[in-house]
Amino acid sequence: MNRESIYGLTFDQLAAWLLEYGHKKFRATQVWEWLYRKRVTSFSDMTDVNPDCIQLLADHYVIQTLEEHVKQASADGTVKFLFKLQDGNLIETVLMRHKFGLSVCVTTQVGCNIGCSFCASGLLSKSRDLSSGEIVEQIMNVQLHLDQAGKAERVSHIVVMGIGEPFDNFENLSSFITVVKDHKGLAIGPRHITVSTSGLVPKIMEFADSDMQTNLAISLHAPNNELRTRIMKINRAYPIEKLMQAIDYYLDKTNRRITLEYILLKDVNDQREHALELAELIGDRRQLANVNLIPYNPVDEHSQYQRSTQESIDAFYDTLKKQGVSCSVRLEHGTDIDAACGQLRSKQIKKSAKGESAADRVVSQ
Ligand code: SF4
């Protein structure tokens, strides 16, 4: 049986587990430091940890379970990683460079069941949730990639926007956030972490009540039910009225700003009337909401959707601004590589199905 990654344990879980085997709490502090500050990849490198404890760790856990399968680097510094899990499944992780720091977009599930009609990731339905260790490992692998470059760069921000619906894997998401926030380890502040949901209403409320305290982004993508149901079938279960109620609950409870994501699809949801309807929907939540407009990256499988023209993007933005809505247009990353979320993974899976060798798939630079 495959052993799990030790990254799946929070500090308290690690300390409690070591205590069960007679090891004092300071051992957990040492191990934690080796994992997240010195970032060793083998238990035997933890030189100040006693041999009994090293053996115990090695008997029950491994550090790394992810294998780098493909790495694509873009001219703008974006790096897309395709990792192979122990069960052979592939997941995608992206490192992006911004003026404010380095962010990593992580995946939370193998495939996705939400089935948004524009999404390359949702083409393959969910086969399983990722463990919290597998989510943490994505960050650690990207950090190791940075460490190897020797420029003393560190992952400063995390966006949970990769493949999968994070709130459909709530417990592991919560554990992942506890680990990456831990000030003794990676110490990534909750305001530097954004979780994006397609709109699972009960989970938005649970999230508001939780101690995760990260930023929240909601994939809205349409200003009315008719259009939203067409684009996102989740809207049948949680229509816009219910979603707005959950958003109000979140805003009341946390008083934190929220991001509303809006993917611009040519002649589908990108007209002036849609912008006006969106402004009306946001209504007096304007103070606490920011609309993030996302120019669409077309994928072959969804040929019904095209990218909005630059004029439409600008006009949509201007209309929202004139209505007093705070908004921004998402900067694009890695446009010279497989830019759409899940595109690299779905391409590689298709190539594998055609029997191309691993050597054909190595595109790292
Ligand atoms: S956009 Fe997100 S929630 Fe929707 S199908 Fe794709 S991965 Fe799933």
Q: Is the CB of 79 under 6 A from ligand 1?
A: no
**Pairwise CA distance, residues 8 & 264, whole Å:** 37
What is the predicted pLDDT for the residue at 300?
A: 82
What is the predicted pLDDT for the residue at 353?
A: 59
Burial of residue 106, with CB atoms counted within 10 A of its CB: 0-12 exposed, 13-18 middle, 19 or more buried: buried
> Which residue reads 């830019």 in tokens?
339
CATH 3.30.1330.10 fits 108-131+152-346, yes or no: no
Q: According to DSSP H, which parts of 255-353 are helical?
A: 272-282, 310-322, 343-353
Q: Average of pLDDT values for 41-57?
A: 97
Provide DSSP, 298-310: --GGGTT--BPPH
The CATH architecture of the domain made up of 4-62 is Orthogonal Bundle (1.10)
Q: Percent of the chain at pLDDT above 70?
A: 91
Q: Looking at this protein, which amino acid is placed at residue 191?
A: R
Q: Please list the residue range(s) of the chain that carry CATH number 3.20.20.70.
A: 108-131+152-346
DSSP single-letter state for residue 117: T
**Pairwise CA distance, residues 316 & 270, whole Å:** 7
Q: Please list the residue range(s) of the chain that carry CATH number 1.10.150.530.
A: 4-62
Catalytic residue among 92, 134, 137, 261: 92
Query: Which of 165, 168, 305 to mutate for ligand 1's pocket (most ligand atoms within 8 Å of CB)?
Result: 165
Q: Is the CB of 340 under 6 A from ligand 1?
A: no
**Counting atoms of ligand 1 from 1, which one is nearest the CA of 198?**
3
Summarize pLDDT for 113-156 with one digit per residue, the tens.
998 999 877 677 899 999 999 999 999 999 999 999 999 999 99
Mean of pLDDT over the chain: 92
- Taking 70 as the threshold, does the pLDDT of residue 342 lie above it? no
Our answer to whether residue 206 is catalytic in this structure is no
pTM: 0.93
**Pairwise CA distance, residues 138 & 103, whole Å:** 12
Evaluated on CA atoms 364, 361, 114, 340, the torsion sign reads positive
What is the predicted pLDDT for the residue at 363?
A: 32
